[in-house]
Structure 1
Amino acid sequence: MKRFFAIVLLMVLTALGLTAWRSWAWWSWASAPVDPTDSWANAAETDRVQVEIPQGTPSQQIGQELADAGLIRSTTAWKLWTRWQTFQDDSGGYQAGTYALSPEQPLTAIAAKIWTGDVVELSFTIPEGWNREQIAALLERQGLVSSLAFLAATEQIPTANYPWLPSGLPHLEGFLYPDTYQVPEGEIDTETVIRLMLDRFEQIALPLYQASNQAQNRYSLLQWVTLASIVEREAVVAEERDEIASVFARRLQEGIPLGADPTVEYGLGIEQTPDQPLTLDQVRTPNPYNTYINAGLPPTPIANAGLASLEASLNPAPTEFLYFVARYDGTHVFSRTLTEHELAQATIRDQVELQPVE
């Protein structure tokens, strides 16, 4: 009888050992440390497979779909990892979304990516000083959203979600904060893009205005953003930004038209170049944005200013200058009097005319 029990015990221990060895083998194979020289770690995006996991997909189904896609070799190892991860983090779970995965990745790396929601993200950058049309064209070029749909959406003013937006805005020009944005793939649409930009304005720009001394602040929110947009378009050289803002502030205070070329360009929907500068007829063409004809600020911003121009325009320092004229290298000549200004204009014009023709 003792011999019989010894044989049974030996068989049980052998079976348990074999099971433990198999589990250890599966785990060791699935969770082998990553060598940074491995091909999967340096794989190009084109070598990766995009997998879409809908909301509410069971973990077992996720494992089967990964196996069917050739991304993992064992659904059993997937189940073991899932049980262990759930034991470690019973409040977590696999996240829905689109993932870029490689068959060269260890099972644990793939599982961890889906557990933490490391989804594919689209990135786009809006440069400082761009207007709505330029932003719309970029988004369409990158295949993110339709240009026409974006422009139409910017004419819907979401004051319910952003009550600080000035009343009566015809569009969101000036409040679409220029920055780099990341959006999970599959979740991008015109409303999402606009919400991201308004959120960023609310987080970065709006506190500047709210924290300024309101008793000394000479501008409404709309006036501030409008002035900053003109400064942004004029200030090609960063070192001149504060002086340009100060000149504009002084001209506004004294009731002198700003005489800013970018406002004329915006009103006419054109962009001048060294080869095709604004003509006298264009400067004399009446429209609400022509700051050669109209004193004060135009009715809306003409672009979306960055932080530096917003800061420079909030409370500009006093200046002795009242005029400036642009050279064609992006810098400006600042003048105290109209006589100095006209002389600077003539000098720059003569220099351009003397340039050799290539």
Structure 2
Amino acid sequence: MKAVRRKSRWSFYWGLLPVVSVFFAWQGWVWWSWVSAPAIDPKTIESEAESPPAKVIEVKTGSTGQEIGATLEAEGLIRSTQAWNVWARWLSLTKGGGGFQVGSYEINPTEPMTEIAAKIWSGDVLKLSYTIPEGWTIEDMAEYFEDRGFFKAETFIEATKNVPYDLFPWLPKDLPHVEGFLYPDTYLLRSDRLDAESAIGQMIGQFEVVALPVYEQQAGDADLSLLDWVTLASIVEREAVISEERRLISGVFHNRLTEGIPLGADPTVEYGLGLTQTADRPLTYEEVATPSPYNTYINAGLPPTPIGSPGLPSLEATLSPEATDYLYFVARYDGTHVFSRTLAEHEAAQAEIWNERDSQ
């Protein structure tokens, strides 16, 4: 009788190995699918109003991957610090060096963990928007930046005195500050470069791109230096309330400069004294008579620097003034002006406007 060969119990275990491997692989896949998924499933959000707000996470110099993961989990932006650490090691192995980048990051809890990691690894930092309106001065900008929490007003003002000739050698020589060359526009500033010098560089760079070519193409017709052009344009910017009058106001100023008549521009007096007049609080005779390099009632010609940031329309109007024989204008209280050829006409227009104002 032939003996029956019994199977080894090890054969049984070896037979189970594929099954066990598949089971644990499946378990690992289930675990990873859950921990790497968004902290809040976008599919559960029924309307935009229910969308969870994004959070800003600050990655500071010296922060470790583990610390970043712990912060993200504490803020409810990822599900597992352990999974984050695993993925951080994987990125380190597969990306050939590098690491998580310093800066502020805007992260939404509906983003998968791997996308969040890629954002911080690549340095896709939060970009902060800021808008500079036409006519703003350095002081206006400084207050704005401080109110927005970008940097201190005094820090910005001091930075504007360090004229960056190394980056922009075309800037007029011996400027006391960069007033007038900070082009009014909307900008995005990286959170890891949130400093006054970066903002100043952006605005001068935009002037170089947008405004400087206009001057280079048309300056010969106006016979103005770069500094004179921007200075006169800054005065036009402050005087012209409605766009239709911009070139006419420019024409009046060109006439007065040609004839050696002081410009008599209120905004220059305001700039020199550091104040802003209103309809209810106009400049006084004493203020208009106060000596200042910026007082264009006392001094003929242009003030030493621009008095704000002119926009492109005012810059263009200064190079192409309207041909006119007007020498005077006075503001109504609706944004328009009355233009006059003689001093007598001008004084009569002033009296009429003041009488209208007093009767209201």
Q: How does 1:153-232 map to 2 (within 5 A)?
A: 153-185=159-191, 187-210=193-216, 212-232=217-237
Letter of the structure 1 residue corresponding to residue 185 of structure 2:
D
Q: Measured at CA, do residues 283 and 67 of structure 1 come closer, stay the same or move farther in structure 2, by a change above 3 Å?
A: closer
Residues in 2 aligned to 1:78 and 1:149: alpha-carbon distance in whole angstroms: 39
- State the 1:106 CA deviation: 3.5
Distance change (3 Å), C-alpha of 1:202 and 1:19: farther
The equivalent of 1:152 in structure 2 is: 158
Of 270, 274, 284, which residue of structure 2 is paired with 1:269? Answer: 274
Map of 1:280 onto structure 2: 285
Q: CA deviation at 1:274?
A: 1.3
> Is the CA contact 1:26–1:77 (under 8 Å) kept in the aligned structure 2?
no
1:44 pairs, out of 42, 46, 53, with 53
CA offset at residue 220 of structure 1?
0.7
Indicate the larger mover: 267-276 or 50-59.
50-59
**Secondary structure of the structure 2 residue equivalent to 1:232:** helix
Counterpart CA distance in 1 for 2:357 and 2:62 is 67
Tell me which amino acid in the other structure corresponds to 1:199: G
The Cα of 1:263 is off from its aligned counterpart by 1.1
Deviations 1:145-164 (A, max 9, x none): 22233222222222222211
Question: Which residues of 2 match residues 93-112 of structure 1 at below 5 A?
Answer: 94-101=100-107, 105-112=111-118
Partner residue of 1:253?
A: 258
* Uncovered stretches (5+) of structure 1, i.e. residues with no partner: none
- Give the SS at the match of 1:216: helix
1:341 maps to which residue?
Answer: 346
Q: Find the aligned partners of 2:204 and 2:130 in 1 and give their Cα distance.
A: 15
- The answer to whether structure 1 residue 233 and structure 2 residue 241 are counterparts is no
| Deviating more after overlay: 261-270 vs 4-13 | 4-13
Change in CA separation of 1:137 and 1:215 when aligned onto 2, cut-off 3 Å: closer
- Give, in whole Å, the separation in 1 of the partners of 2:223 and 2:105: 50
Distance 1:93 1:262, change over 3 A: same
Distance in 2 of aligned mates of 1:19 and 1:192:
53
CA contact (8 A) 1:41 1:105 kept: no
Secondary structure at the aligned position of 1:163 is classed as: coil
1:299 partner amino acid? P
Measured after TM superposition, the shift of residue 27 of structure 1 is: 4.5
Classify 1:88/1:253 alpha carbon distance in 2 versus 1 (closer, same or farther; 3 Å).
farther
AA aligned to 2:52 is A
Deviation at 1:103, TM superposition (A): 5.1
Is 2:144 the partner of 1:138?
yes
Letter of the 1:181 counterpart: Y
Per-residue deviation, residues 58-82 of structure 1 (Å, max 9, x unmatched): 6566445534655322345436655
Normalising by structure 2, we get a TM-score of 0.82
TM-score, normalised on structure 1?
Answer: 0.83
Deviates further, 165-174 or 312-321: 312-321
Alpha-carbon contact 2:59-2:102 (below 8 Å) kept? yes
Q: Secondary structure in 2 aligned to 1:183?
A: strand
Q: Structure 2: which amino acid aligns with 1:162?
A: F
Structure 1 pair 6/75, CA: closer, same or farther in 2 (3 Å)? farther
TM-fit CA distance, 1:293: 2.4
Whether the 8 Å CA contact 2:221–2:319 is kept in 1: the answer is no
Once the two structures are aligned, what percentage of the paired residues are identical?
52
User: Which moved further from structure 2: 233-242 or 246-255?
Assistant: 246-255
Q: What is the distance in 1 between the residues matched to 2:289 and 2:60?
A: 59
Deviation at 1:244, TM superposition (A): 1.4
Distance of 1:2 and 1:192 partners within structure 2: 81
CA contact (8 A) 1:40 1:104 kept: no
Q: Residue 39 of structure 1 contacts residue 104 of structure 1 at CA under 8 Å; is this kept in 2?
A: no
1:228 Cα deviation from its structure 2 partner:
0.9
Larger Rg: 2
Q: 1:343 to 1:65 in 2, by over 3 A?
A: closer
Q: Residues 7-26 of structure 1: matches in 2 within 5 Å?
A: 7=12, 10-26=15-31
CA drift at 1:140: 2.6
**Residue 354 of structure 2 is aligned to residue 354 of structure 1:** no
Following TM superposition, by how much is the alpha carbon of 1:144 offset from its aligned partner in structure 2, in angstroms?
2.8
| 1:215 partner SS | helix
Give me the CA root mean square deviation. 3.3
Structure 1 pair 86–156 and aligned structure 2 pair: CA distance change class (3 A):
closer
State the Cα distance separating 1:89 from its structure 2 match. Answer: 7.0
1:325 aligns with 2:330: yes
| 275 and 81 in structure 1: CA distance in 2 versus 1, 3 angstrom threshold | same
Give the Å deviation of 1:87: 9.2
Q: Look up the SS of the partner of 1:123 in the other structure.
A: strand
